[in-house]
Amino acid sequence: MYPEYMNESLKKVTQSRNKRFELAKSGKPVFPPMSAEEREQVLDKFHPDYKPEARRKIHVGPNKGEKLTTEVADMLESHSRIKPELFDLAQADYETDILIIGGGGAGCAAAIIAMENGAKSIISTKLRLGDSNSMMSQGGMQAAVTSQDSPAKHYLDAIGGGHFDNKPELVRILTEDGPEVVKWLEDLGVVWDKNEDGSLQVLHGGGTSRKRMHSCRDYTGAIIMRTLMDVVRNHPDKITSLEFMPTVELILDNKGRCAGGILYNLETEEYFTVKAKATIITTGGYGRLHIRGYDTTNHYGATGDGLVIAYRVGAKLLYMDSVQYHPTGSVFPEQIAGFLITEKIRGAGGQPLNKHGELFVFPREPRDVESSAFIKECLEKNNGIETPSGRFGVWLDSPLIEMLQGEGYINKNFPAMHRQFIRYGIDITAEPMLVYPSLHYQNGGIEIDEKCKTNIPGLYVAGEATGGVHGRNRLMGNSVLDYNVYGRRAGKYVAESIKSVKLGPLTLEHISNYESELKRAKIKTDRIAPVLLPSYTPENVKKRQLTAHYQGTLR
Amino acid sequence: MATKKPAKKKPVKETKTKSTKKNPKKEMATVFIMGKAHEVPAEATIMGAIEYSGYQIIRGAGCREGFCGACATVYRLPDDYKIYTGLACTTLIEDGMWLSQLPAIPAQRPVYDIKKLEANVATFQKLYPEVFRCLACNTCTKACPQDLEVMDYIQAAIRGDIEKVMDISFDCLSCGMCAIRCPAEIVQYNVGLLARRLYGKYLAKESKQLKKRIKEIKEHKYDKEYQELKSMKTEDLKKKYYERNLE
Ligand SMILES: Cc1cc2nc3c(=O)[nH]c(=O)nc-3n(C[C@H](O)[C@H](O)[C@H](O)COP(=O)(O)OP(=O)(O)OC[C@H]3O[C@@H](n4cnc5c(N)ncnc54)[C@H](O)[C@@H]3O)c2cc1C
Ligand code: SF4
Ligand code: SF4
Ligand code: FES
């Protein structure tokens, strides 16, 4: 239930609804989309990335001298969790063809395709298999299937959305493999939303010129992820998942080839070595670093670990100066602050409104532009709605959807959203939601080529942990596509590439070298990475933990 | 408090300001986490309360938004004989709540190859014979934090109505609450998952458009268009992008 003081503003939303409905029904744009200049202006002034403190120079490693997101630079300039000299690498605890780090969507897709191409794998994962950002996507996956659409149109949308910084060949592969991925997933048993005649239901997303968002109600990620997990679990002889066993460092061989990793059992606190002919990093994003203090939509284990371990062996990062804030994170009630409200709400006709009940931006600008417009409306124009805890938000008018798409549409298509709010006495079929940008996606990452290869032999990356596919801004629906397209590719190419691989003696020398580099750069810090899990332990509790030893965020 | 707050001059913080609404002192409540009393903010979720009390969760949190089912929790309330089930990430605490998270749910699961299965009742008979022991007691439905009609989908599985199982179980989180409460020892969520996969693979009508598009791509229909786009100067590409028409 909304506090009483919001009633006046809520009333204005209701009052303006009929007029907005008429306009939306007419098919004309409900608000003029921004020109290139207008986009630039609002980004420059209001996007959190463009604040001077948001980025800083990094002093070590392959991207030395470049400006990165401050929190990322901090994380990279930190110490290892391990002392290399304590490990006996002559005798590995596990040996396999491929070590896959991260049991989310990209990791499972890679394991499945690698298996089909004759390679065995071990999936090292931090939480349970499937506990990941992939499980959470609600809105859907882009793929150009309809006759009005084409893969090339999808390409242009993705490049424009990414501010023309995307690596063109990666976008071509992303968009051209899309339809095949829809089919592959359906053959595995994913239940897509379809029309009576079997054609796929499609909706718009931010920055799309054609309707091409495919979905499974608003449990798209959960349906896909559980299907992939089920396939993985049906092949225990080929794919071994090690849960609550995150990888904390990579291992190289004496020729500089990546040869596996060091795993840490979060429960027994033991370390294990895995020797593998090749390694695929699929650790996803970094929302739980809470960049610039923002709430996040991401799962508990999204701490950017893959970036750290790859950087220490010398892998290059790309576009790690750009962070994606999802325009519609929830801001009220407090308990669900930061939770994602899917962009499909706007795709289906939902509109962002200020406290006067007015539309102030085209509802489907690319995410960074839309987010910046929300921030501007709240911070510069003072047209936001303040919550009891001092947050700001704008309305997201969902009842309009029921008018546009017919009664019952929300319950049928947004059951997760409806559930999320009804728990707090807010019925989104009758009342709008209150939203503000939330930290959502790691736009950049480890640089890869078309075969998911990095500059380190034997090291591959797929999914959100990579950089280049989305330029500096990802469009909705392109990242579920990304982890499928590139997860599959990684599985295929790695399985092919390892046939002739002979590893030399293993080493962790790169860890000591990195430590020396930190010292030479005169970096004095007690930071430890990978972060593994965020800590939400209150300060007063920590003060009493007199004999606790913290390594980074973890005891 | 029905009054609207006066508009303020430029707040400095990007996400939060010092509230002008003088929050009265935070109300607190007592919860018993695994039997031990803790004072926590009265409006906390169960997960929030656990962390506020100083526990670092390892098992028991995944998505933190109601999608993964990692945070299954059982609890009782004062002066109430009932046992309740909920998701720690989305359930609010109540004063006097006695709670415990379930770190993992034991559940057997046969290994199968979906390609070799048929979309009919025989598949359930073979893989999950215990389904047919359902007593129709409805305990599973009462235990479901997603408010799904769990018993109905189990009954639909018994009838071999795969579409119905798919439809009713669609929003299932595999949290396992139904399974631990079931007197017939059925693992409902695995049955639902199997039915959804069978439906998607064998029963969903094929999309002709999709088939056609995949064929076009294999026949290199879009190569030329891609080549053109890729060879364009950024200036021209920008122009083309901003001039593209919207559906
Ligand atoms: C709430 C939400 C909604 C979204 N909605 C959409 C949408 O509608 N459409 C869309 O296209 N995209 C969406 N996205 C983005 C998309 O879901 C993700 O970008 C994508 O799923 C990432 O897949 P991934 O496999 O690369 O990473 P993830 O799925 O996050 O998997 C990474 C896995 O690695 C594990 N891990 C992390 N560190 C380690 C370590 N050190 N060792 C071992 N394992 C580790 C993690 O725990 C996790 O299991 C959404 C994201 C969120 C958070
Ligand atoms: S059906 Fe069972 S496993 Fe699925 S959400 Fe409900 S209680 Fe949890
Ligand atoms: S709890 Fe078990 S026995 Fe009872 S209705 Fe549900 S499935 Fe049947
Ligand atoms: S943590 Fe995922 S459902 Fe609660």
With b for 16 or more beta-carbon neighbours within 10 A and e for fewer, the A467-506 pattern comes to bbbbbbbbbbbbbbbbbbbbbbbbbbbbbebbeeeebeeb
Q: Given this model, what pLDDT does residue A245 score? A: 98
With 60 as the cut, is the pLDDT of residue A60 above it?
yes
Report yes or no on B109 lying in a domain: no
Report yes or no on B217 lying in a domain: yes
Determine the atom of ligand 2 nearest the C-alpha atom of B143.
7
ipTM of the complex: 0.93
Q: Given this model, what pLDDT does residue A389 score? A: 84
Q: Given this model, what pLDDT does residue B25 score? A: 57
Residue keyed to tokens 């039997």? B35
Both B91 and B120 in a single domain?
no
Both B79 and B121 in a single domain?
no
Both B169 and B198 in a single domain?
yes
Closest residue to A382, CB basis, from B8, B147, B244? B8
Please give the Cα distance from A243 to A130 (Å, whole number). Answer: 10
Q: Given this model, what pLDDT does residue A81 score? A: 96
Q: Given this model, what pLDDT does residue B6 score? A: 38
Both B118 and B198 in a single domain?
yes
Which two tokens mark A38?
């207008």
With 50 as the cut, is the pLDDT of residue A441 above it?
yes
Q: Is A154 a catalytic residue?
A: no
Average pLDDT over residues B81-96: 95
| Residue-range definition of the domain harbouring residue B232 | 208-242
Q: Given this model, what pLDDT does residue B3 score? A: 39
Both B81 and B33 in a single domain?
yes
Please give the Cα distance from B134 to B132 (Å, whole number). Answer: 5
Integer angstrom CA distances of residue B27 from A388, A540, B192? 14, 18, 41
Residue keyed to tokens 């004063």? B95
Boundary-marking domain end, from B101, B129, B153: B101
CA distance A506 to chain B (A): 31
Both B90 and B148 in a single domain?
no
Report yes or no on B135 lying in a domain: yes
Average pLDDT over residues A527-539: 96
To the nearest whole number, what is the mean pLDDT of chain B? 91
Closest residue to A382, CB basis, from B7, B198, B244? B7
Both B159 and B236 in a single domain?
no
Report yes or no on B8 lying in a domain: no
To the nearest whole number, what is the mean pLDDT of chain A? 96
CATH of the domain at B142: 1.10.1060.10
Report yes or no on B10 lying in a domain: no
Both B164 and B92 in a single domain?
no
Report yes or no on B14 lying in a domain: no
Boundary-marking domain end, from B53, B72, B101: B101
Counting one residue from chain A and one from chain B, the pairs whose CB atoms sit within 8 A come to 269
Give the distance between the most distant pair of CA atoms in chain B.
Answer: 73
pLDDT in tens, A151-202: 999 999 999 999 999 999 999 999 999 999 999 999 999 999 999 999 999 9
Both B149 and B79 in a single domain?
no
Catalytic residue of the set A172, A326, A440, A474: A326
Average pLDDT over residues A258-281: 98
Under a CB-based contact definition with an 8 Å cutoff, are residues A468 and A318 in contact? yes
CB neighbour list of residue A498: distance below 8 Å, 6 or more residues apart: A97, A98, A119, A277, A278
| Residue whose C-alpha is closest to residue A475's, from A318, A367, A372 | A367
Average pLDDT over residues A455-469: 98
Please give the Cα distance from A218 to A339 (Å, whole number). Answer: 14
Report yes or no on B4 lying in a domain: no
Integer angstrom CA distances of residue B85 from A524, B44, B72, B91, B145? 48, 17, 7, 9, 7
Under a CB-based contact definition with an 8 Å cutoff, are residues A325 and A366 in contact? no
**What's the gap in Å between A137 CA and the centre of ligand 1?**
8
With 90 as the cut, is the pLDDT of residue B101 above it?
yes
The answer to whether the CB of A206 is under 6 A from ligand 1 is: no
Local confidence band at A335 (pLDDT 50, 70, 90 cut-offs): confident
Residue keyed to tokens 């409306």? A377
Both B137 and B154 in a single domain?
yes
CATH of the domain at B85: 3.10.20.30
Report yes or no on B65 lying in a domain: yes
Both B150 and B217 in a single domain?
no
Q: Tell me how many domains chain B contains.
A: 3
Q: Is A55 a catalytic residue?
A: no
CA distance A498 to chain B (A): 27
Both B233 and B199 in a single domain?
no
Using DSSP, how many helices (H) and how many strands (E) does chain A show? 16, 20
